[in-house]
Chain A
Amino acid sequence: MNRIPAPRPIRGFVALREGSRPLGVVSAVVGGLALAVVLGGTTSVLAEYGIRREDRIAAALQSRELFTLLVFGSLLGAGATALGFGTYRRMPTRVSREEAIAGAVLGLQAAIGGLALLWFIQGDMERFARNFLSFEQIVPQYEAFLNGARNTLVLAGAGEFFGVILGLVLSVFTISKRAVVRAPVRVYINLFRGTPLLLQLSLIYFGLALGLGVNMSAYTAAILAFSLNTGAYSAEVFRAGIQSIERGQMEAARGLGLGYMQSMRYVIVPQAVRRVIPPLMNEFVILIKDTSLIAFLGLSYAQRDLFTVGSQGYSQFFNATFYVASGLGYLVVTLPLIRLVTWVEKRLRSGLLGAVA
C-alpha cells in the first residue's frame, strides 16, 4: 500500500521561498519590536532627559541616543515589512498568514514613524520646544484653563439642552402630513443648516444686541445661537429616529384609541429617543468644539472659553504652547464622550437599553 510521505520540515532559505509557520511569527515579532523601539525609545529618551523644561526636551530630541534608536527602529521596521509582505501569500496556515501581515504592517508603521521623526529632529529643536512645549509657562495659568473648560462645557451643555428640546418639538412638525405645518419648520431648519454658525452667532449678537438694542451679553447671545442651531440639526436627527420606528407601533397605539399626539408621546417618541442618543451625543461633541467660535464676539475675562484662553495666552506670550494646552483640554473632555458614545451604541445594539424589539 502506498503511503503519502510526511512533508519534510522546511528550513533555512527554502523557508523564505516556500513560506513557513515560524517565519510568520518572526515577521510579527520583528515588526512589533521595531514599533516598540521607535515609540518606546522616543518616550524613554524623553523621560530620561526630563520633560519639565523645554531645553531638556530639545536636548533629548537632538541626542545621539534618540538618533541611533530611530535609525535602528526604522531599519528593523523596513526588514519586517519586506519579510512579511514577501512571504505572507505562501504561508501554510491562516494564522501564520495573519502574523506575517501584522508584522509587515507594524514594521511599516515603525519605518514611517521613525523616518518622519528622523526628518523632524533635523530642524531647530530649541525653537520647537520653546514655542510648543514650554509647559512651565502654562502651569501658572492653569486656573484660567480650568475656567475656560468650565465655560466651554456650560456653553455647549446649555446649547445642547435647549437645542434638543427645540429639535424634538420641531421634528414632530416635520413629519406632519400637512404641508402648511411642515413648510415653516423646513424653512427654519434649512436656514440654520445652510449658513455658517459663525454667521448666526454674529447676526444674533451684533444684529440683535447692537442693531436692535436688545441688551444681551455675548455669553447669552452665544447660548441662544447654539440652541437655535442645535435645534435645527437635532430636529433632523429626531425626525430620522421617529421615522425609523415601525409603522405598526403607531397603528397599535391608534387602534387602542390613543390620539395622534398621545401615540407620539407615549409610544413613538420614547422609542425614537433611545435610538437617537448616539447621534445626539455626536452632535454634542461637535458643539463642544464649535463653542470656540464665541471668541469672535469678544469676551470678558471670566467668560473666556477654552479656545479663547489659549488664543489670548498666545497673543500675550507669543507662545504656541497655549494652543497645544487648549487642544489637550478639548481632548480631555471629548475623548471620554466619544468612548461613551461607542459604549452606548453597543448597548443599544445588544438591546439592553430596550430600544430594540
Chain B
Amino acid sequence: MSREANALGWPAGPVPAGAPLIRLEAIHKWFGNLHVLKGIDLDLASGHVLVVIGTSGSGKSTLLRCIDMLEEPTSGHVWFKGRDITDVRVNLNEVRTHMGIVFQAFNLFPHKTALGNITLALEKVLHMPRDQARERARAELEHVGLGQKALSHPGQLSGGEQQRVAIARALAMRPDLILFDEVTSALDPKLVAEVLAVMQRLASEGTTMVVVTHEMGFAREVGTHLVFMDEGVIVEQGEPKAVFDNPQHEQTRRFLSSVL
C-alpha cells in the first residue's frame, strides 16, 4: 500500500500556514501512581531552538520522549505538522522518519560501524540505494567532523565521538526537528564542548531543535525559547536571556541560583 493510499497517511507538503510544527496540548503522563507530567501546553515553530531546563525528575526528559511518542502520553494530544499523532491510527514509524532523537547514552548500534549506524535507517526506512545511503552517511559524518572514523565501531570511539555519530545518524534522515535528551550528561567535561559545538552549528543553520539540557551557557546563548520545568509543570518560559537575567518566579530563581 502506498503512503498516499492510506487515508491517514502523512500529508505531503509544508506545514499549513500559521500552524506550529509541534503543539502539545494538555499532556499528562502517569507512571503507575507517579504523576510525571501535569498538563503541558507548548508550541514550537520551525527554525526555533527550544531549550528545556529544570531539576532532575522534573519531567523534562519524559516530555521530550512524548514528542516522538517513545512515551505515550496518558492523556492529551501531540500535534505534529497539523496532525494529532496520539491518534492510534497514525503510523508512528512514518512520523518518526520526520523527527530525530539523540539520547544521553548515545545508543549507537555496537555491532555496526559508524557508517553502518547511519545507513541502516536510510536503506531500510527511506529505501535509499546502498551507494546513495553511504554517500549521504559520509557527508553527515564529515559534517560532524568524523570523516575519518566512518569504519570505526562505536567501541573504538570516545564518548564525544559516539555522540557526534548519533547526531549524524539523526541528521541523515533530514528530519523536520531533532530532539536532544541530555546529550552531554554522560560525557567528560572535555568532550562536552565538541558536542555542544556541533549542536550550536546546527542551530545556526536553522535546524529546529528541542534540547533538554543542564548546560546553562548553551541554553542561554543558543536557545531561542526557554522553558523551565519543575514537578511536571512548566513554571516559566520566554526568551532565554530574559528568563536568566530576570526570572519571574521564586522556583526559577532558586533553580538558577543553584546551577549558575
Binds A, one of B30-38, B74-82, B105-113, B241-249: B105-113
For A253, the chain B residues whose CB sits under 8 A away are 109
Tell me whether A351 is interfacial, beta carbon within 8 Å. yes
- Contact check, A255 vs B110: say whether CB atoms are below 8 A apart: no
How distant is B104 from chain A, measured CB to nearest CB, in Å? Answer: 9
Tell me whether A212 is interfacial, beta carbon within 8 Å. no
Cα-based distance from A249 to B100 in the complex (angstroms)? 15
- Contact check, A255 vs B111: say whether CB atoms are below 8 A apart: no
Tally of A-B residue pairs with Cβ under 8 A? 74
- Contact check, A271 vs B120: say whether CB atoms are below 8 A apart: no
- Contact check, B70 vs A254: say whether CB atoms are below 8 A apart: yes
Interface size class of B (residues with CB under 8 A): 20 to 34
- Known A248-B105, A251-B70, A351-B155; contact A356-B110, beta-carbon cutoff 8 A: yes
Cα-based distance from A232 to B170 in the complex (angstroms)? 39
For B99, the chain A residues whose CB sits under 8 A away are 255
For A255, the chain B residues whose CB sits under 8 A away are 68, 70, 96, 99-101, 170
For B83, the chain A residues whose CB sits under 8 A away are none
Tell me whether B103 is interfacial, beta carbon within 8 Å. yes
For A267, the chain B residues whose CB sits under 8 A away are 109, 120
Chain A interface SS verdict (over half): helix
- Tell me the B96-153 residues at the A interface (CB within 8 Å): 96-97, 99-101, 103, 105, 107-111, 120-121, 124-125, 153
Cα-based distance from A257 to B127 in the complex (angstroms)? 12
- Contact check, A252 vs B103: say whether CB atoms are below 8 A apart: yes
- Contact check, B97 vs A252: say whether CB atoms are below 8 A apart: no
- Known A258-B121, A357-B154, A357-B155; contact A252-B93, beta-carbon cutoff 8 A: no
Tell me whether B169 is interfacial, beta carbon within 8 Å. yes
Tell me whether A187 is interfacial, beta carbon within 8 Å. no
For A249, the chain B residues whose CB sits under 8 A away are 107, 109
Tell me whether B173 is interfacial, beta carbon within 8 Å. yes
For B121, the chain A residues whose CB sits under 8 A away are 256-258
Cα-based distance from A248 to B108 in the complex (angstroms)? 9
For B125, the chain A residues whose CB sits under 8 A away are 256-258, 262
Interface size on A, residues (CB 8 A): 23
- Contact check, A252 vs B110: say whether CB atoms are below 8 A apart: no
In the complex, which residue of chain A has the Cβ closest to the Cβ of B96?
A257
Cα-based distance from A254 to B72 in the complex (angstroms)? 14
In the complex, which residue of chain B has the Cβ closest to the Cβ of A270?
B111
Cα-based distance from A254 to B101 in the complex (angstroms)? 10
How distant is B101 from chain A, measured CB to nearest CB, in Å? Answer: 4
- Contact check, B110 vs A251: say whether CB atoms are below 8 A apart: no
- Contact check, B94 vs A248: say whether CB atoms are below 8 A apart: no
In the complex, which residue of chain A has the Cβ closest to the Cβ of B71?
A251
Q: Mark A327-357, 1 if CB is under 8 A from B, else 0.
A: 0000000000000000000000001001111
Cα-based distance from A270 to B155 in the complex (angstroms)? 16
Some 30 contacts from A to B, beta carbons below 8 A apart, are A246-B105, A246-B107, A248-B103, A249-B107, A251-B101, A252-B107, A252-B166, A253-B109, A254-B70, A254-B96, A255-B70, A255-B100, A255-B101, A255-B170, A256-B97, A256-B120, A256-B170, A257-B97, A257-B125, A257-B173, A258-B93, A258-B120, A258-B125, A262-B125, A266-B120, A270-B111, A271-B111, A351-B155, A354-B153, A354-B155
Sample of 17 more A-B contacts, CB < 8 Å, known A258-B120, A258-B125, A355-B110: A249-B107, A249-B109, A251-B101, A251-B103, A251-B107, A254-B96, A255-B96, A255-B101, A256-B97, A257-B93, A257-B94, A257-B97, A257-B125, A266-B124, A267-B109, A354-B110, A354-B155
**A residues near B, CB below 8 A?**
246, 248-249, 251-259, 262, 266-267, 270-271, 274, 351, 354-357
